[in-house]
Amino acid sequence: MTIHELILKNRSYRRFYQDVKIDLNTLKDLVELSRLSASGANIQPLKYILSSEPEKNGQIFKNLAWAAYLKNWPGPEDGERPAAYIIVLGDKRLKESFGYDPGIAVQSMLLGAVEKGLGGCIIGSISRDSLRKDLNIPDQLEILLVIALGKPKETVVIETIGSNGVIKYWRDDKGVHHVPKRSIEELIAG
Amino acid sequence: MTIHELILKNRSYRRFYQDVKIDLNTLKDLVELSRLSASGANIQPLKYILSSEPEKNGQIFKNLAWAAYLKNWPGPEDGERPAAYIIVLGDKRLKESFGYDPGIAVQSMLLGAVEKGLGGCIIGSISRDSLRKDLNIPDQLEILLVIALGKPKETVVIETIGSNGVIKYWRDDKGVHHVPKRSIEELIAG
C-alpha cells in the first residue's frame, strides 16, 4: 500500500469485530514503530501500557467517552468493542510536557495497525483518575491518550465541508460514518 | 515499502542535495496526506505555508536553529540546505491550542516525503517573531513548527542507548549521524 492509500484507510473506527483477537506481539510491533519515530530533542519520554485481554480491556473501556458529536450513541455495544488498547503515557521524570511526540507516535502506530488489517481510534476523553486507580498506573506517568484497536466493523467516508462550514461528523441511517474535511485550498495559507 | 521500512528510513535529516529541487505540487501532495489524517474533534485547525523557491527558502532558513546537541555545527552550509519547507501553523480563530494534530500531521507528511525519495527534519527552534515579519504571517496563525525538506545527503544510524542513559545524538568523524534510541522493554510500562 502507498502511504496515501494507508492514510486514506486510516479512519477513526469506533465499532469492531470484538471476537477478532489481537495478541500482545502485534501491539509490541506497533510500539516498535513509535520507538523508531522522531522525538523532540530525542528525549523519548513516552511509555505504553498494552491490553489485549478481555478483563483489562473492560477496565479501560469503562473509563472512555466516545464520539462527542454522536449525542445519542453511548459508544460501542458489547460485541463491537475494541479487541485491544494501547495507553500512551508521558514519563514526567524525563520531561514536563510532551510536545509533538504523542501525535507522531500514535500516527505511526495507527498506520501500522491499518497495514495489518486493523484500525483504531485516538481517544482523549478519559476518566484519568479512575483509569489510574483501576490499572495501578504510577503517578509519574501522565495518561495522555488511549488508542482503541480492532478489526473495523464500520464504513467511514470522507466528505467535503459544505458552505455552512460544519465540521461535525455524522452517522447515516445505514450506519455509515461521514467525516467532513476542509478542502486543501482552505489549508494552504501561502 | 512497508510502514516499518518507511519509518526506519524516516530519520531526521539535516543536510541535503540543495540543487535537487522540490516543486510546489510535491508539497501539496504532502499537505493532502495531512488533510486526510485525524484531527481532534475534527476541527482541522492547521494551516500550511509552502516554500520551494530559493528566496523564500532563504527567509525561512535564517530563522531556524539546528541540532541543539551538535554544539560546533551551526547548521547546513550553502549547497546542503533544504530545497523546500512546510511551515505548520495553528489557526487561532478555530482553536486555542492544537493538541496532537501537529504531531499527527507532520508524521503523515514526512512519511510521504520519504516515500518520494526525500527526507526532512521537524524544527521547533524558530525565531517566530522574525519569521512572522519576514513572511508577513497574520497574527491569527500561530507558528507551530517548520518541516525542512530535501533529498538527504547524510547517513543516519539508530543506536541502542547505553548503560549511561545518554540520549544525545552525535556525528562521527565520517559525518555519520548516530541517534540513540531507548529499548522497547524500557517503553512498555504494563
CA dist., res. B107 & res. A110, Å (int): 11
Residue among A29, A100, A179 minimizing CB distance to B103: A100
Nearest-CA distance A54 → chain B (Å): 15
Check residues B89 and B164 and name the one with the higher pLDDT: B89
The 10s digit of each residue's pLDDT in B9-28 is 999 999 999 999 999 999 99
Q: Nearest by CB to B103, from A8, A89, A102: name it.
A: A102
Complete DSSP assignment for chain A: --HHHHHHH--B---B-TTS---HHHHHHHHHHHHTS--GGG---EEEEEE-SHHHHHHHHTTB---TT-TT--SPPTTSS-SEEEEEEEETTT-S--TTHHHHHHHHHHHHHHHTT-EEEEE--B-HHHHHHHHT--TTEEEEEEEEEE-B-S-EEEEE--TT-----EE-TTS-EEEEE--HHHHB--
Is the pLDDT reported for residue B31 higher than 90?
yes
Chain B partners within 8 Å of A145 (Cβ): 100
Nearest CA in chain A to B186: A47
CB contact under 8 Å between A32 and B3, yes or no, is no
pLDDT(B65) > 90:
yes
In chain B, residues with a C-beta closer than 8 Å to the C-beta of A37 are 7, 10, 107
Are the Cβ atoms of B167 and A42 closer than 8 angstroms? yes
ipTM: 0.97
**pLDDT tops 90 at residue B68:** no
Average pLDDT over residues B78-86: 98
List pLDDT tens digits, range A37-51.
999 999 999 999 999
Nearest to A82 by CA among A102, A59, A103, A116: A59
At residue A163, the pLDDT reads 81
Within chain A, what is the greatest distance between any pair of CA atoms? 51
Summarised one tens digit per residue, pLDDT across range A118-152 is 999 999 999 999 999 999 999 999 999 999 999 99
Q: What percent of chain B has pLDDT over 70?
A: 100
How many beta-carbon contacts under 8 Å exist across A and B?
Answer: 177
| Distance from C-alpha of A120 to C-alpha of A114, rounded to nearest angstrom | 8
Instruction: List A23's β-bridge partners, or say none.
Output: none
Q: Do A184 and B32 touch (CB under 8 A)?
A: yes
- Sign of the Cα pseudo-torsion (A106, B176, B20, B117, in order): negative
Per-residue pLDDT, B115: 98
Are residues B95 and B45 in contact, defined by beta-carbon separation less than 8 angstroms?
yes
Residues in A closer than 8 angstroms to B124, CB to CB, are: 40, 99-100
Mutate to test the interface with A, among B11, B107, B134, B140 (most CBs of A within 10 A): B107
Q: Nearest chain A residue to B112 by CA: give it.
A: A3
Contact state of B3 with A111 under an 8 Å Cβ cutoff: yes
User: Which chain B residue is nearest to residue A120, measuring alpha carbons?
Assistant: B38
- Taking residues B55-68, report their average pLDDT: 96
Q: Output the nine-digit C-alpha cell for B26.
A: 510535491
Give me the pLDDT at residue B128, please.
98
pLDDT in tens, B91-104: 999 999 999 999 99
Average pLDDT value for chain A: 97
The reply to whether residue B100 touches residue A106, judged by beta carbons under 8 angstroms, is: yes
Neighboring chain A residues of B50 at a CB cutoff of 8 Å: 188, 190
Q: If you average pLDDT over residues B81-88, what whole number do you get?
A: 98
Contact state of A190 with B137 under an 8 Å Cβ cutoff: yes
Residue pLDDT, tens place only, A157-183? 999 998 888 999 999 999 999 999 999
Res. B164 pLDDT band, cuts 50 70 90: confident
A47 and B187 within 8 Å at the Cβ level: the answer is yes
* The pLDDT value given to residue B67: 87
Tell me the C-alpha distance between B109 and A122, whole Å. Answer: 19
Q: What's the pLDDT at B95? A: 96
Q: pLDDT per residue over A59-105, tens digit each?
A: 999 999 998 899 899 999 999 999 999 999 999 999 999 999 999 99
Q: How many angstroms separate the Cα of A52 from the Cα of each of A130, A143, A152, B113, B188?
A: 20, 18, 16, 33, 14
Cβ-defined contact of B7 to A37 (cutoff 8 Å)? yes
Nearest to B89 among A99, A115, A189 (CB): A189
